[in-house]
Amino acid sequence: MKNLAILIPTLSIGGAERVAANLSIGLSRYYNIFIIVYNRTENEYAHNDNIICLESKFYKGVLGKAYGFFKKIFQIRKIKKEYNIDISLSLLDMPSILNILSRYRDKVIVSVRNYKSREVNGITGKIDKMMISTFYNKADLVIACSELIKEDMIENFNVKREKIITIYNPYNIEDIKEKCKEEISDYDVNNKKFIVNVGRLTNQKGQDHLLRAFKIVKQSIADINLVIVGVGELEESLKKLAIDLGIFDSVFFVGFEKNPFKFIDKSEVYVLSSLFEGFPNTMLEAMICGAPIVSTDCKSGPREILCDIYDKNKVYNKFTEADYGIITPDFVESNNIESGEKELAEAIILLLKNDELKKHYSKKSKSRGDEFSLSSISDKYYSELEKL
Q: Is the pLDDT of residue 321 over 90?
A: yes
Q: What pLDDT sits at residue 118?
A: 79
Contact between residue 161 and residue 243 where contact means Cβ atoms under 8 Å apart: no
Taking every pair of Cα atoms in the chain, the longest distance, rounded to a whole number of angstroms, is 63
Q: Examine residue 334 and say whether the peptide bond preceding it is cis (omega within 30 degrees of 0).
A: no
pLDDT confidence band for 188 (50 / 70 / 90): confident
Give the count of alpha carbons within 13 A of 83, CB side only. Answer: 26
Contact between residue 228 and residue 253 where contact means Cβ atoms under 8 Å apart: yes
pLDDT digits (tens, 9 = 90+) for 119-170: 777 777 788 888 899 999 999 999 999 999 999 999 999 999 999 999 999 9
**Model-wide pTM > 0.85:** yes
∠ Cα 50 56 60 (to 5°): 165
pLDDT digits (tens, 9 = 90+) for 278-315: 899 999 999 999 999 999 999 889 999 999 988 888 88
Q: Is the pLDDT of residue 333 over 80?
A: no
The structural domains of the chain, ordered by start, are 3-170+374-387 (3.40.50.2000), 173-371 (3.40.50.2000)
Q: Is the pLDDT of residue 332 over 90?
A: no
Q: What pLDDT sits at residue 281?
A: 92
- What is the residue-averaged pLDDT of the chain? 94
Q: What pLDDT sits at residue 232?
A: 95
